[in-house]
Amino acid sequence: MERDWSNWPQEYYDTTDREERKNLLLQRLESPKADKKDEIRMKFWELRYKTRAKMPVGVDYFIRSWMELYFVSRKPGNKFQMKQQEEAIRQAKHDMGLELAAEYGEEGEEVLYQELCHGVALYMQLCRDDSKYNSQLLGIMKLKKDNLVEKIGNELWNVSTVVPKAFSAEKEFSTLKKACEDVFWKEYPKYVNDQEIKLERKK
């Protein structure tokens, strides 16, 4: 009996476990329903999760790249850190799949957007679940929800908008910017009038 694929690819992007995502992709690729975008999804899976030489097992390279860009965002363009920051930008272009997507045209861009949305949503969840991120005064007090939402939104803005602008890479990171805005405002539509959040709203 043919597996029900009516919820594809949403079920793939609803899943955060790397092995479960891989198994879903393998099942899909073995089915007559598979198409070019599924093959591209496997390329993205390998780029994001596959173990690399001299690196520990289990690294999510989207999250790793996000953290590198976050550190850049604290002092973007700092002349004393310029070499390291430029390397972080270059590595993020590769590890987030921006370069990979360019090899596959419109289909590659579509899969890139979907994968970046998945990564951003996962990162936001990690922030909400992290007791250190979700606190103030050296971890003594938990942030109010409004303050936590503002903190997450402004981090997304800094990473996806401020950093690319500082390095004249706005075009290359435009899909990441869109993913950050779409995922955040879908999750927090009630905060659209919160002027403390710098992340761009849809016009």
Compute the distance between CA of residue 181 and CA of residue 198 in angstroms, rounded to an integer. 10
Q: Which residues, in sequence order, are bridge partners of residue 141?
A: 136
pLDDT in tens, 126-181: 999 998 998 876 556 789 999 999 999 999 999 999 999 999 999 999 999 999 99
Tokens of 88: 């972080």
End-to-end CA distance of the chain: 46
Query: In this predicted structure, what is the pLDDT of residue 140?
Result: 67
Query: In this predicted structure, what is the pLDDT of residue 2?
Result: 79
The model's pTM: 0.94
Which phi and psi angles does 173 have, rounded to 5°?
A: -100, 15
Q: Is 141 helix (H, G, I), strand (E, B) or coil?
A: strand
pLDDT in tens, 6-56: 999 999 999 999 999 999 999 999 999 999 999 999 999 999 999 999 899
Per-residue confidence band for 107, with pLDDT thresholds at 50, 70 and 90: very high
Query: In this predicted structure, what is the pLDDT of residue 138?
Result: 56
